[in-house]
Structure 1
Amino acid sequence: MQAWHVHEIGEPSEVMRLTETERPTPGAGQVLLRVRAAGVNFPDALMCRGQYQVRPPLPFTPGVEICGETADGRRVIATPALPYGGFAEYAVADAAALLPAPAALDDAEAAVLHIGYQTGWFGLHRRARLEAGETLLVHAAAGGVGSAAVQLGKAAGATVIGVVGGAGKAAVARELGCDTVIDRHAEDVVAAVKQATGGRGADVVYDPVGGDAYAQSAKTVAFEGRIVVVGFASGTVPSPALSHALVKNYSVLGLHWGLYRTKDPELVRHCHERLTELAARGAIRPLVSARVPLEKAAAAVQRVAAGATTGRVAVVPGAEHGTL
């Protein structure tokens, strides 16, 4: 089979190599899956760089979420068991963690549903307790993580403000359903949020960016608001001023979704059932901006790492063409 291997640490476009190799052999409690589609995630780039909290042994195959097919023909969503990741024709996954792929979504959409939308659901509902009628501010609203939060926020009955970088991403955020879109390249984010909320601020802020975005979050969160820290795509990890949280009466909530898979896997399944229901009634649908063949996986990871894409990118083995 064909699979991408990372033999040394570095930039994805430089260290990912497409090779011919044997199909992986499942271990105890694991299954072999034919990869129908694999989602490209920022953690894939971090693993190539040796900067992710999970560091698989070299060589490894990136690709942390897939839509796959079991030997008996079931279409499933899975998180591959590294080092046998999803950027390959076959991957390995834990049998107990397999989830049925929603019938309402095609392979590429199903492949990118799991991490982004589970993260959004846990962040907005489990951690922030978002309620209908509240205002949700989403940083990087046109990106993979942000676009999921926008759709989930609208499905929950919230008013959604999306912050993006550039006119093209602003158009995408509007199509996703944002009630207000702020282009950080052309507008003062803090002033624009205060204007959109009548000076009150956002009840919930969803921040996968960190850096300057977190500083803006602290200035725009409402009384008794909640800032959900999802990641640091900017590359800068902020140091929040706890005295500011005290005097302004807001909460800073961390979210490491992966912990739920070990601490409370039944809650992960419950979330998947809710997401499947939302997909069935059309309330959510992953924005797949590009479907690329397996041979373009390294370029896709590099572009996602650079923030040069909107929505999600999916690698589809067997696809004849694709653009980025």
Structure 2
Amino acid sequence: MPIYFYWGEDDFAIEKAVGSLRDRILDSVWLSFNYTTFPPDQSDAVIQALNQAMTPPFGSGGRLVWLINTTLCQSCPENILTELQRTLPVIPQDSHLLLTSRNKPDERLKGTKFLKQHATEFREFPLIPPWKTELIVQAVQEVAASTGVKLTPLIAEFLAESVGNDTRLLYNEMEKLRLYTENSHQPLDVKIVSQLVRNTTQNSLQLAAAIRGGDTAKALVILTDLLNAAEPGLRIVATLIGQFRTWLWVKIMMESGERNPQAIAQAAEISNPKRIYFLQQEVKNITVQQLLDTLPLLLELEVSLKQGASEIITLQTKVIELCQLCKTTTSRI
């Protein structure tokens, strides 16, 4: 009874995992007979998928049945639970049932517990928080290794700053670099990579720095560039929240008298203590209170965007407010 449940916000990573699973299970000759998907808007999707999973595959290879973006682990009616309990233990070994969801499974539900008990693979695909740059650098290095692109540590850091936690963009840019290295005898350096790679997260971090310095004009220019590059507003906000949160923790630890970089890094959830010196320089002209006051504004911004407010106007308004807040702080010091 091969059963797989993939969930998380990293849609592209889930797509790649599904593609790998599909290639491993299915015979391409019999693909149209043995591969069935059920979209979330189909009312009887779960029942139909379970019935399909019980059908032996035609020809060679296995059968793959995919419940796309299912809410089964958020809401499991009694009749569906009964059907799960009846079907999952007896699914044929050459039939594979795959369930995917963006939402975290509710571990309290009987359906979730039963599914987890019988699943071959129960796996999360989370997005790396934008402020955890060390993990993003690690992801860049892993993708480079898998695609055969040789990167120096400096280029890996530049790519991490450029693509952020966007896995799809990372693979797209890495493929671009792979094609370049295949057709050129010139080794990669930061200058070449900067000309080839789209840079958005770096600008979001620059936006945070401009806000911290109270430079309204510069911040609005950077914001306009980001929006013109089709950078999603919520991704910009996520980077800002992460950066200001990191600055706040570093400043709090400094004000408390802590001087140990390892201790500060642990409190700020920074895996590389060498970054602490530079972060300390960045926050030396801003107070703890002002950093604290930025967080409610950023939260208001996030909520407004999620509720459908005009992205451009809302972002511009809040960026101006944040700059004024930080500028007031800087002038007092």
Both structures adopt the same fold (TM-score exceeding 0.5): no
> With CA pairs under 8 Å and 6+ residues apart, which has the higher RCO, 1 or 2?
1
- Indicate the structure with greater helix content: 2
- Indicate the structure with greater strand content: 1
Structure 2 length-normalised TM: 0.27
Structure 1 length-normalised TM: 0.28
